[in-house]
Each structure stands twice: as structure tokens, then as C-alpha cells.
Amino acid sequence: MTKERVKLLASAGFFAGYLFVQAGYPALSWFDVRFHRFAWHMYTGRAAPKLFLAVHEDGSTRELPGFFERDAPVRLYGSAVDRVRFVPPHICSRWPEVREVRVRYIASGRERVWPCR
């Protein structure tokens, strides 16, 4: 193998690897949610999906659906609001019958609990 051929193969290998890291690896999030944080939408400000649950004194739970819908129990007017930081205290102050608010991260399965008292 000539020196020029080795340089050409090295350049092609580098280019293929770089292309995979930049385009192929983030595409894995379409097939497996564990790769969600490496996807392209991390640059668009789109956060990982979360599920908010209000746990009442009697133990019953209520899922809080879309915060941007007109008839939502807690309505947000902008997508820049940090829901995990501001929604649980608001729910606790608004509804005295709620014992705790749980935020479940759908992609990872983690759960955070905010006690209301």
C-alpha cells in the first residue's frame, strides 16, 4: 500500500466515524429512549417528557395532563417555564387536599416526590 492510499483510507475512516457520531448516534433515540439525551432536540430546548401526578389525602392519584391546553388544571403560557421547579409548589398551594406531587420522567423511569406539607 502506498502512503497516499493510507492517507486516503485514514481520511475516509475519520469522515465516516465523524458522520456517525454527528448523525447516526443521535438517530438511535428513534429506536431506544435511553439515547434521548443525545438526540438533536437537545439543542432546541425540548425537554424530556414528564408525567405529573397529584396524590390526594385518601391515596388516590390524578394525572395532570398537558399544561398548555385551555382546560388544564394548571395552565402555562410559555414553554420556557421550568415545570419541575414551579408546578409542584403551585399545585400544593392551590389544592389543599393534595398530599404530594410526583414527577415521573418517562424516558428514564425516575421519579421525584414533592411533599406538600
pLDDT at site 49: 64
Convert the pLDDT of each residue in 75-92 to its tens digit. 666 666 677 788 888 888
- Are the CB atoms for 65 and 54 separated by under 8 Å? no
pLDDT at site 4: 92
List the domain range (segments joined by +) for residue 92.
50-115
Mean pLDDT in residue range 98-114: 85
pLDDT at site 62: 85
Give the closest residue to 49 by CA, choosing from 80, 83, 77, 73. 83
All three cell numbers of 94, joined, read 392551590
Quick one: 35 and 82 in the same domain? Answer: no
Convert the pLDDT of each residue in 26-77 to its tens digit. 777 777 767 766 666 555 555 566 788 889 999 898 887 766 566 666 666 6
pLDDT at site 30: 74
Dihedral angle of Cα 22, 24, 29, 35, to the nearest 10 degrees? -60
How many whole angstroms separate alpha carbon 16 and alpha carbon 8?
12
How many whole angstroms separate alpha carbon 27 and alpha carbon 12?
21
Quick one: 54 and 103 in the same domain? Answer: yes
Contacts of 47 (CB under 8 A, 6+ apart): 83
Quick one: 55 and 99 in the same domain? Answer: yes
Quick one: 74 and 92 in the same domain? Answer: yes
